Structure 1
Amino acid sequence: MRALLSAVVVTELGMAILKPGKELLPLFSGRVLIDYAPEYMIEWPSGALPPARQSLGDDPALAPFFANEKVIQAAGGFNGLDAWLMRKPIDCQWPHSDYHHNELVTTRFHSGSIRLCWHCDNKLRDHHTEQLSNMAKANVVAWIIDTARVALRFNDSHILTLPELCWWATTMELVEALPEGMARRALDMPRITIPSVSRESHIVPELPATSIIQEKVKPVLKLKVDPESPATLMRRPKRIRLEKPKYLQWVKTQPCEGCGSPADDPHHLIGWGQGGMGTKAHDLLSIPLCRICHTELHNDPVKFEQKHGSQPAMIIRILDRACALGVLA
């Protein structure tokens, strides 16, 4: 709870008197922070202040992030959006009606949901206009920002910043959903400016900001153990290949097991009863190799293992490192 109040100063007594009103008295049940009112509040009337306005919702560069399906699902899905709208003390959001019923519902549109009264819901339910779509998108943006704010333990007076939103995305494993511009600003990287006329020699290559964040965030493989899976009860079960793309991404970040150079590929075990025509070993049975060592191994596996050691020994080292670092948990 916040309030904007005018104080009556009694200089002789060294006191300031406030008149908050009965509804704001709970604000003074403990210690209260007093500060100067910012300029944009100078003309505001005295009384309770609304929740902070989240400026991130007005940034068009963040629109792809808020519209991403994975981000919406991480925030609770459209059912979570509907529940959030029903909890908010807002009236019918359709302003172009002379009459509003006192009962409110949430109406689902393809881009989100809108809070409408029964009267407006009956009129607009099958309509799909640009204005309705924009209203639904605005609700999605406000809901995701509010969900991130609550998850980060901030109260409704806190204005969420871009780094804080990116941190929420990181904790929710949404790094891949970050747009490049959003990631660059969060890392305080300069904006990319391409002059109309430039030489190829003036181009300075650099890593994308999203790749830098992805590199800093260690992908974690979540293993599920089911000792009584349906296949274990079959006499001749069909084998299923275990695929873990995030683990392969981590394997590629490790040094080459052959020469120690930066790896280029996650090599899947061949030979040793694994691999073959149209088949591939499980993703857990992979080794980081540079392009040269990878080619050398496929050209002559026996010669490669005589020179660098056996593939199973390399896999054991990689699995041990992954478990020790918490990548396999």
Structure 2
Amino acid sequence: MRLLLRPEIARQMGIVLLKPGNDLMGVFAQGRVLVEEAPANMAHLPSGRIPDARQPLAEDHLLRPFFTDERVIRAAGGLAALEHWLLLRTDICQYPHASYHHHELVTMRHPPGALAVCWHCDNELRQQTTEQLAELARENVIAWVIDTVLASLGYNRERELSVAELCWWAVSAGIAGAITEEMAQRALRLPSEPEPTVYRESDIVPALPATSILENRLDGYSAEPDWQEQPLGQPLVDVAVEPEAPATFFARPKRIRWTNPAFIKWVKIQPCVCCGKPSDDPHHLIGWGQGGTATKAHDIFTLPLCRRHHDQLHHDRIKFEQEFGLQPVLIIQLLDRAFALGVLA
């Protein structure tokens, strides 16, 4: 939080007095505060808390397809995260047309997102689908995605988000495919020329879409060159599916162990599933019909474990699973995260 205050200076005593008011006194309760000169663009603002930056992207109708894309909502945390954000940010019912509002709020899902409404309005509006509710839900989704992007980029609400930063977040989140042509064109600062309604055949010149230009620039670039081998924005491991593999037609086929060093390297940099500390080893599933003498489970059946918990699991598998959960369940949770993040596809 930033404050804009007018100081009262007692020059002979060398003291500067500030009067923030009761609502803003909490800023000074944490100890030291940062003081800087007010920039010229804040000259018109009144004394008090500096309001959050206006986000022009939230009002841009051309960006709505991106904000409401299921891939974007999933990358931002999903509808559950949106509902949690709504209850933290909202203290009144978002449906303004009711004659009575209960003082307690709940969340009501409505495509493409959710709303924060009181119990009374929730009972009245449940199972209804209207354009008015859809617009309120859409505004919530856009504001939440912008907040999430700002937080993931290390900024707060006092900063105005740009289209280029929004595109970079999409690329880093593995959803570059959700970037629209309009976004790519603005992020690359390509000239936007009005399209004439009538063309002469000699005037028709093929042009590359901005999204393909962006894709070509991303091709081969990796934010983690030591382990990420796929182009940025593409899945780390492309799992090929062969429904008519030759071995399936043999009476006694020879089993082949599935290995993938890239996936193992990704597992190694994940936090330990038991304590959350940096993992040391990718543990391959033991028991449950897997592992054994001179055998090892497929690389897909792995867990990130620190050294202490890895040793604990091999020392007493039953006790480990009683304390931290069954290995297959933990592996399913890890695979679900890998698919959701685009690591596996």
TM-score using structure 2 length: 0.60
1:1-329 map, 5 Å: 1-8=1-8, 17-28=17-28, 29-36=32-39, 38=41, 41-42=44-45, 44=46, 46-218=47-219, 219=231, 220-223=234-237, 236=252
Q: Secondary structure at the match of 1:120?
A: helix
Shift of residue 192 of structure 1? 3.3
Are the equivalent residues in 2 in contact too, given 1:7–1:16 (CA < 8 A)?
yes
8 Å Cα contact 2:90-2:116 kept in structure 1: no
Which shows bigger deviation, 169-178 or 120-129?
120-129
Structure 1 residue 95: Cα displacement: 1.5
Q: Is the 8 A contact 2:71 2:178 kept in 1?
A: yes
The structural deviation recorded for 1:138 is: 0.5
The 8 Å contact of residues 91 and 105 in structure 2, kept in 1 or not, is answered as no
Seq. identity, %: 46
Per the TM alignment, residue 14 of structure 1 is displaced from its structure 2 partner at its CA by: 8.2
Q: Which residue of 2 aligns with 1:288?
A: none
Shift of 1:37: 6.3
Q: Matched residues in 1 for 2:176 and 2:65: separation?
A: 13
Work out the CA distance in 2 between the residues paired with 1:180 and 1:40: 38
Cα deviation for residue 10 of structure 1 reads 6.0
Task: Quickly say closer, same or farther: Cα 1:224–1:191, change in 2 above 3 A.
Answer: closer
How far residue 124 of structure 1 moved from its aligned partner, in angstroms, is 1.4
User: 1 CA distance for matches of 2:33 and 2:160?
Assistant: 23
Query: Which ranges of structure 1 fall in alignment gaps of 5 or more residues?
Result: 226-230, 243-329
Cα distance in 1 for partners of 2:67, 2:254 equals: 41
1:289 equivalent in structure 2: none
CA displacement at 1:50 relative to structure 2: 3.8
Distance 1:116 1:61 in 2: 28
In structure 2, the CA distance between the partners of 1:9 and 1:126, relative to structure 1 (3 Å rule), is same
Q: Deviation digits for residues 134-190 of structure 1, max 9, x if unmatched?
A: 000100111111111111111221211111111000101222111111110010001
* Distance (whole Å) between structure 1 residues aligned to residue 113 and residue 43 of structure 2: 31
Alpha-carbon separation, structure 2, partners of 1:183 and 1:38: 30
Structure 1 residues 183 and 7, CA gap change in structure 2 (3 angstroms): same
Structure 1 residues 114, 37: CA separation in 2 closer, same or farther (over 3 Å shift)?
farther
Whether the 8 Å contact between 1:175 and 1:210 is mirrored in structure 2 is no
Instruction: Classify the secondary structure of the residue corresponding to 1:108.
Output: strand
Q: How far 1:34 sits from its partner (Å)?
A: 2.9
Provide the rounded CA distance (Å) in 1 between the counterparts of 2:142 and 2:192.
24
Query: Deviation of residue 64 (structure 1)?
Result: 0.9
- Cα distance in 2 between the residues matched to 1:182 and 1:172: 16
Q: Give the residue type in structure 1 aligned to 2:5.
A: L
Distance 1:188 1:32, change over 3 A: same
1:322 corresponding residue in structure 2: none
The change in CA–CA distance for 1:121 and 1:178 in structure 2 (over 3 A counts) is same
Distance 2:65 2:164 in 1: 17
Conserved 8 A contact 2:105-2:118: yes
Q: 1:40 offset after TM fit, Å?
A: 9.1
Deviation at 1:117, TM superposition (A): 0.9
Q: How many residues in Structure 1 have an aligned counterpart in Structure 2?
A: 235
Deviation at 1:89, TM superposition (A): 4.1
Matches of 1:127 and 1:108, distance apart in 2: 10
